[in-house]
Structure formats: C-alpha cells, structure tokens
Amino acid sequence: MWNDDSPREACGLFGVYAPGEDVARLTYFGLFALQHRGQESAGIAVSDGERIRAYKDLGLVTRVFTEPVLQSLEGYIAVGHTRYSTTGSSTLRNVQPITCSTEQGNIAVAHNGNLVNAHILRMQLEAEGEQFESTNDSEVIVRLIARALDEDDDIVNAIRAMMRQVEGAYSLAILTPTQLIGVRDPFGVRPLSLGRLDDSWVLASETCAFPPIGAEYVRDVLPGEIVVIDASGLRSYEGLPDTHEALCMFELIYFARPDSHLYGRLLYEVRRRMGRLLAQEHPVEADLVIPVPDSGTPAAVGYAAESGIPYGDGLIKNRYAPRTFIQPDQRLREQSVRLKLTPLREVIAGKRLVVVDDSIVRGTTTRQIVRLLFEAGAREVHMRINAPPIRFPCHYGIDMATQRELAAAHHTVEDVRRQIGATSLGYLSIEGLLKAAGQPRHRFCLACFNGEYPIPIPEDVELVKEIFETPFASSRAT
C-alpha cells in the first residue's frame, strides 16, 4: 500500500433493514460512500429471514462486489464493512463481517474500533476451548456474543454480557437472521448514525452514506446504546449504565468526510472554522494560501478568508497513486510524495506560501512536500496544521505510529520545523480545536494530543497490529 505517514482509520460500517428492497445493492452504495475509512477489504452479509449469506474479499468495494455477486446476496437485512486494519494483518481471514454459528442461528458482526484488552480475553477464551479463525480483535467480540447466546437466547442480554467484558472502542453493526442491531461503546469513541429510508432503517459510520441511497439522517446511536431493528420496528436498550462521551477528535479533523455531520455540524464548516482560528493563532505575511489536497482544503479556505491572503491550488493530487499495490523502488520510496502530488510551478514560483494540512505524524511526508515546493520555486513555505501536535499514539482504532515515531512526541515545534525544512510551522491549539468544533472538551477523546486516555491502556502489553498473528490457512468465506 501507499507509504505515507497520515493517520489511518479502522473501517466503515453500514447496515440496512429494508423488506422489499435490494439490500445488498444498498449496502454496496453505502460502503462505496465509506470507502475513505478503509481500502484493504470489503464484505457484505445478508439475511433472508432464515439464512445468512456473506461475501468478502481483499480490495476496494468496486472490485470485491461484481454484479453476479450482488445478485447472489438475496435478503432483506444486510450489514457491510470496509476495512483498514489496526489489529490483525490485512489478509483474507481478517476480512469482515465475521460470521459465527450459535444455538439461536448464525450471526454476522462488523466492527469499527479497537479493543485494549482483546489479548487477555482471547487467551481466556482459547484456554476454555474456543477456536479462533482470524487474528483480529473483532472476533473476540463475536465469540463473546455467541457464547452468551448459547446460554441466553436474548440477543440484547448477550450483547450486554459482551459489553461488560470488553474494553476499548467499538461501534458494531450486527446481523441475526431476523434483526439488524447497532451498538456503540460506552465512550462513543467511534461514530455510528441512524437513518431512515422510507419505512426502513439504516445504520452507518457516517451520515455521508445516507444521501446516495436516498436515506435521511435521524440521530446518532448514543454511547453505550443498543439499537434493535426487526419486524416490530426500532427499539433502544441501555447496554451499559456508566457512559462517558469521548468521540475521537480526529473524526472531525481528518477521518470523516467533509460532507458528513457530527454533533449536528457539517464537517466542512468545522474544518473551515479550524482554518480561520489557525490564521488567528499563527498569522504570517505571505502571497498565497494553498492546501495539501484533499484533507487540508477546507481549513486552507478558512485560513485564506481570515487572513485576507489569496487562496489557490498549488499542488495537484494523483487520486490513484495512494491505493496502488505496486511498491515503488527505493529511490521513489524516499521521494514517494512525487507519485501523489504535482506542484504547479507557474502558480507557486517566487511566492511566499502558506501550506495548510490536517496533521503531522512522523513528518516524513511533510518534509517531502516542503522540499517539493521549494524545488518548484517557492520563496518561503509556512506550514500550518489544523490540529495540535500529535504526541501520543492512539489505541482506539487509528493506525498512526508508535510514540517513538511521532515527530512531536519528543521534539519542540522548532525542532519539527527544522526537521521538515519549513520557513515556519504553526499548529492549531487544543483550545482552538474545541472552539472550531463548538463542543465542550468532555465530549471528545484528545488522547493523541494530551495523553489523557479515557479508557485505561494496559501497561504490560504493547498493543501492536500483529499481536495475534499465527500461521493460518487463507480461504474465502461464503
């Protein structure tokens, strides 16, 4: 995959309960709208009221699901998943939704997030005889629900039993033969929204998945809530009583699409507001404001509007380069940004540039961008970042880096500026970020900025992607 140092999301979820509709096709379009949340694999599970059928494979949504595949997935309830791996390697055995048989029938589960105690739970389950088929933490959730269902045929009670054991971030779309269920962890770290399609119901990681299928946003699934949809309609249950809202701030900064809504606000406007506040906090004399496309664009628009400096496009993005599976040779790997971005020399030559981007993780990509702009004739390059310095790793579903790899973890802003070669460097403050979001601090997880983790992290285990890796035989699930 593309070798850059941007933060990476875990995955996108979609679910639909729609008798009389082609739910596999609706899920396909929903996943297509959520493709930005994960590009490694995709899967759809469908129920016709008795049997659950699933199809999943590595690759983009448009490659995995052909017309014959969609036609074979008949039913009236479906869940779908598009993945970027945070626990478990990118192999076929780890593709979701994960299906499992129980005494009450099969279930299929799609998970967005990351568990911090999955290693402990998995060892306990294996000691009790459970045979795991994947190396991701999501299967721990599925096995716990299945075991609870074997003792109690009430799916809500089974989910509650799972929630009492797992710790970490999880939004879930669960399929039973007759039900669609949405679940959100007690902290609400990962988003999950509820939509309406005529008389039917839809679940999605982001509201941007609703318009392509004609659905309308209703509300967010609440932290700790279980939403059950079946022939009786929609019912809400309390999963765990002790909840504390801590939505990942990076959803607002980078992950969610700018046409999605979080906390009732359009994210394009939130990011544009970030740019305005960035201009207030870090003004500079310059000739042109340009974004690092596409994630820096709304903030760059805001920076230009607040500062009065003209806005322009100075970098053109090759939208196919980031997803190539062909690895560049060493020379190109060291200058990999050239495969992704092309400077407009006639636009930037001789100019003092303000360059707006969403974040700096390791700093390698930013350094290459700065070098590229200077080589194209820029006189000055003032980097402006619409996020605070990332000083701590995420353990809740973002694959960004270990702390020792983070550029700002052990270096001052001036140190990072020298490392990337910029004329100046300015980050948006946490206070500015919260002001742009229009929400109080307690509603967000800010751990990657301030190290205050809302869910405690075990001290004795390094949470790495390959923690469960063992030799497995790959086989396509059907």
Q: What is the pLDDT of residue 401?
A: 62
- Mean pLDDT, range 290-300, rounded to an integer: 96
CB 86 within 8 A of CB 114: yes
CB 141 within 8 A of CB 163: no
Q: How far apart are CA 49 and CA 401, in angstroms?
A: 43
- Mean pLDDT, range 385-404, rounded to an integer: 87
Domain boundary among 182, 215, 245: 245
Same domain, 272 and 236: no
Same domain, 31 and 154: yes
Conformational region of residue 451, where left means phi above 0, alpha means psi within -120 to 50, and beta covers everything else: left
Same domain, 341 and 221: no
Q: How far apart are CA 32 and CA 146, in angstroms?
A: 29
Question: What does pLDDT average to over the chain?
Answer: 90
Model confidence at 9: pLDDT above 80: no
Same domain, 272 and 241: no
DSSP H or E run through 349: none
The catalytic position among 11, 100, 208, 445 is: 11
Same domain, 293 and 189: no
Model confidence at 331: pLDDT above 80: no
Same domain, 146 and 31: yes
Same domain, 20 and 150: yes
H-state helical runs in 216-329: 249-250, 267-281, 297-307
* Reported confidence tier of residue 178, pLDDT bands at 50, 70, 90: very high
Same domain, 308 and 233: no
Which is higher by pLDDT, 333 or 108? 108
> Taking every pair of C-alpha atoms in the chain, what is the biggest distance, in angstroms?
72
pLDDT tens, 128-174?
999 898 888 899 999 999 999 988 889 999 999 999 999 999 999 99
Residue 157 lies in a domain: yes
Same domain, 237 and 272: no
pLDDT tens, 446-472?
999 999 999 999 876 555 444 444 443
Residues 6+ apart with CB under 8 A from 16: 23, 26, 27, 30, 77, 78, 180, 197, 200, 201, 202, 203, 213
CA 338 to chain centre: 25
Same domain, 289 and 239: no
User: Does the annotation mark 100 as catalytic?
Assistant: no
Residue 354 lies in a domain: yes
Same domain, 86 and 170: yes
Model confidence at 375: pLDDT above 80: yes
* CATH number, domain with residue 312: 3.40.50.2020
* CATH number, domain with residue 215: 3.60.20.10
Of 99, 79, 88, 94, nearest in space to 23 by CA: 79
Count the neighbouring beta carbons within 10 Å of the beta carbon of residue 138: 29
Residue 259 lies in a domain: no
Q: How far apart are CA 300 and CA 312, in angstroms?
A: 9
What residues make up the domain containing 170? 11-245
Q: What is the pLDDT of residue 466?
A: 47
Q: How far apart are CA 451 and CA 467, in angstroms?
A: 23
Same domain, 225 and 297: no
Token representation of residue 473: 């035989």
Count the neighbouring beta carbons within 10 Å of the beta carbon of residue 32: 19
Residue 453 lies in a domain: no
Residue 110 lies in a domain: yes
Residue 256 lies in a domain: no
Token representation of residue 257: 């699409």
Q: What is the pLDDT of residue 469?
A: 45
The angle subtended at Cα 359 by Cα 204 and Cα 453, nearest 5°, is 65
Of 400, 477, 363, 478, nearest in space to 93 by CA: 477
Which is higher by pLDDT, 85 or 120? 120
Token representation of residue 222: 């609440």
Domain boundary among 409, 424, 439: 439
H-state helical runs in 152-199: 155-163
For the chain, the domain total comes to: 2
Q: How far apart are CA 297 and CA 282, in angstroms?
A: 17
Residue 258 lies in a domain: no
Please confirm whether the linkage preceding 294 is cis (ω < 30° from 0).
yes
Q: What is the pLDDT of residue 191?
A: 96
Residue 373 lies in a domain: yes
